[in-house]
Chains A and B, each alone.
Chain A
Amino acid sequence: MLEKVRNPNIDTSKKVIYIRGLRKAFDENVILKGVDLDLYKGENLVVLGRSGTGKSVLIKIISGLLSADTGEVNVLGQDVCCITRKELDALRLKIGFSFQNSALYDSMTVKENLEFPLVRHSKHMTEQERDKLIDTVLDAVGLRQSINQMPAELSGGQRKRIGIARTLILRPEIMLYDEPTAGLDPITCIEINNLINEVQERFNTSSIIITHDLTCARAVGDRVAMLLDGEFKREGTFDEVFDTNDKRVQAFYNYNFID
């Protein structure tokens, strides 16, 4: 199993995301009980956790799709809870969000999907410049031939990659990947893992990768954090996280590598 070589360009003096004491509940159901998290410039942070532990909720709060109950959520120097709609939109352009099920717009072709954010936010761009940018990101995800296909005609792995391309097109500083390898075959998983690392290198992005796939965690994570009972109970390199007597952490490890 491939272990990731730590990205040399990580700048630990620069925090792009800074979260302290984040709490979130839906009615009586407390999901996040006090999450602290730092993401450094250029770093890939893997967030591990079982289904339903609130991993998706966490990144939805970071991108402002959900709001925190209490706690500080600071993204690129701005407090997400307390900014205006306009500021939030400006911030969102710097955050790429790759959804668990890709969330491609079904009624549009791949090209229209990629254009969608561009025509709205880069109005000064000519059509040639737009097309060139579309080709660049399609090359980056290796799917240039699919430009005129509809999302329904693509495989799961291709949809994921187009979803990633759609977020890359705005040159985000932060990437949030929600279970990028879930439901894909092992070979496609490796391709997606490589893509995540390539994106980090090429565009110098900082990323949070949510997953419960340890192969993916090990292949892409500069640092790993594990969400248990609404808190980050363990954090460090992949091996550090699993070097523990905590039964639940061990169970997580064993469950992933039954073979």
Chain B
Amino acid sequence: MFLELARVYAFIARFWREVFFPPYEFKEIIKQCYEVGVRSLPLISVTGFIIGIVFTNQSRPSLQDFGATSLLPALISVAIIRAIGPLVTAIIASGRVGSSIGAELGSMRVTEQIDAMEVSATNPYKFLVVSRVLATTLMIPALTMYTTLVSLLGGYLNVHQFEQTTIVTFFYQVFDAITFLDIIASSVKSVLFGFTIGMVGCYKGYYSSKGTEGVGKAANTSVVTAMFLLFVEELIVMQVINAIRGI
């Protein structure tokens, strides 16, 4: 257990040691960014949009009880920008990207491809891990912004249908409801989420146990561990932000 923690620590520390020093694997980084970012777009578009609609629709009755449906855009805005956008993006990404990183590196470990890089005097950590963690850390915040926007659009459609609000009024109310701190918090959070997803997937794959079973396990535990950590981080960031707000 302690050995495992030490190994996790060493693995993360190695990232910071290697990320700033050449040689840089630009081609691989770009390839991974494409893989993480662009290839996630279809799924994330549909999911984000539907969540926007559903969330708005389900929130309406409780506001109606107080005759306060005009507050709907503000409510949606706060919920989506502060919590739902970053979290949904991260969860979807950990399911799609985290598991595939875990499986890919796991199978490279099992079939000795990582050893093969090592003996050809190429740093496999830099080529595989640094590029993937960078990709998730950069692309997941970008995806989060995109998801947030798509969700808000979904919410707008629903509001427009029932309350006939115009798009200008809607977005005016949306941005009125949030503060600069909210945006910062969400960005920080999604950077953290991206880093976590990449790191967990790489770690689980890199130290995958031998055999085909090891690959499946690496993919599976990548998702489970990453999701668990995402929620813990969400909770911690929320507490920190509340503390800052309180000042």
Q: For chain A residues 143-181, which have a beta carbon within 8 Å of chain B?
A: 166-167, 170
Closest CB in chain A relative to B122 CB, distance in Å: 5
Choose among A92, A103, A106, A166 the residue that contacts B121 (Cβ–Cβ < 8 A). Answer: A92
Query: Complex Cα distance A157/B92, Å?
Result: 41
A90 and B119 in contact (CB under 8 A), knowing A101-B111, A106-B107? no
Whether A103 pairs with B115 at a CB distance below 8 angstroms is: yes
A63 and B119 in contact (CB under 8 A), knowing A103-B113, A105-B113? yes
- B110's closest neighbor in chain A, by CB? A101
Closest CB in chain A relative to B214 CB, distance in Å: 14
Q: Residues of A contacting B176 with CB < 8 Å?
A: none
Q: Residues of A contacting B112 with CB < 8 Å?
A: 99-101, 103
Chain B 86-109 per-residue mask, 1 if CB under 8 angstroms from chain A, else 0? 000000000000000000100110
Whether A116 pairs with B122 at a CB distance below 8 angstroms is: yes
CB of B63 within 8 Å of the partner chain: no
Q: Residues of B contacting A166 with CB < 8 Å?
A: 120
Most buried by A among B23, B107, B121: B121
CB of A97 within 8 Å of the partner chain: yes
Query: Complex Cα distance A252/B120, Å?
Result: 34
Size class of the contact patch on chain A: 20 to 34
Most buried by A among B23, B107, B117: B117
- B119's closest neighbor in chain A, by CB? A97
- Count of chain B residues near A, Cβ 8 A: 15
- B123's closest neighbor in chain A, by CB? A89
Whether A99 pairs with B121 at a CB distance below 8 angstroms is: no
Choose among B23, B104, B111, B118 the residue that contacts A120 (Cβ–Cβ < 8 A). Answer: B23
CB of B116 within 8 Å of the partner chain: yes
Chain A 87-130 per-residue mask, 1 if CB under 8 angstroms from chain B, else 0? 00110110101011101111100000000110011000000000
Whether B113 pairs with A120 at a CB distance below 8 angstroms is: no
Query: Complex Cα distance A81/B112, Å?
Result: 22
CB of A5 within 8 Å of the partner chain: no
Whether B122 pairs with A120 at a CB distance below 8 angstroms is: yes
Q: For chain B residues 177-202, which have a beta carbon within 8 Å of chain A?
A: none
Whether A92 pairs with B116 at a CB distance below 8 angstroms is: no
Q: Residues of A contacting B116 with CB < 8 Å?
A: 97, 99, 103, 105
Closest CB in chain A relative to B246 CB, distance in Å: 49
Whether A117 pairs with B120 at a CB distance below 8 angstroms is: yes
Choose among A65, A121, A170 the residue that contacts B115 (Cβ–Cβ < 8 A). Answer: A65
Closest CB in chain A relative to B212 CB, distance in Å: 12
Whether A95 pairs with B113 at a CB distance below 8 angstroms is: no
- A163's closest neighbor in chain B, by CB? B116
Q: Residues of A contacting B107 with CB < 8 Å?
A: 106
Query: Complex Cα distance A121/B119, Å?
Result: 13
Q: Residues of A contacting B121 with CB < 8 Å?
A: 89-90, 92-93, 117, 120-121
Query: Complex Cα distance A109/B108, Å?
Result: 15
Closest CB in chain B relative to A90 CB, distance in Å: 7
Query: Complex Cα distance A105/B28, Å?
Result: 13
Q: Residues of A contacting B111 with CB < 8 Å?
A: 101, 103, 106
- B113's closest neighbor in chain A, by CB? A103
Whether A99 pairs with B122 at a CB distance below 8 angstroms is: no
Closest CB in chain B relative to A207 CB, distance in Å: 15
Q: For chain B residues 157-192, which have a beta carbon within 8 Å of chain A?
A: none
- A99's closest neighbor in chain B, by CB? B112
Closest CB in chain A relative to B106 CB, distance in Å: 12
Closest CB in chain B relative to A3 CB, distance in Å: 31
Closest CB in chain B relative to A85 CB, distance in Å: 9
- A176's closest neighbor in chain B, by CB? B119
Closest CB in chain A relative to B233 CB, distance in Å: 30
Whether B122 pairs with A117 at a CB distance below 8 angstroms is: yes
Q: Residues of B contacting A93 with CB < 8 Å?
A: 120-121
Query: Complex Cα distance A95/B117, Å?
Result: 13
A99 and B115 in contact (CB under 8 A), knowing A106-B107, A120-B23? yes
Q: Would you give 10 A-B contacts (Cβ < 8 Å), ordered by A?
A: A64-B119, A65-B115, A97-B115, A97-B120, A99-B112, A103-B111, A103-B113, A107-B104, A121-B121, A170-B120
- In the A-B complex, list the 8 residue pairs whose CB atoms are closest, starting with the nearest: A89-B121, A103-B116, A103-B112, A117-B120, A97-B119, A92-B121, A99-B112, A63-B119
- What is A's interface to B at a CB cutoff of 8 Å? 60, 63-65, 89-90, 92-93, 95, 97, 99-101, 103-107, 116-117, 120-121, 166-167, 170
With A60-B115, A63-B119, A101-B111 already in contact, 18 other A-B pairs whose C-beta atoms are closer than 8 Å: A64-B119, A65-B119, A89-B121, A92-B118, A92-B119, A92-B120, A92-B121, A97-B115, A99-B112, A101-B112, A103-B113, A103-B116, A105-B108, A106-B113, A117-B122, A120-B121, A121-B121, A166-B120
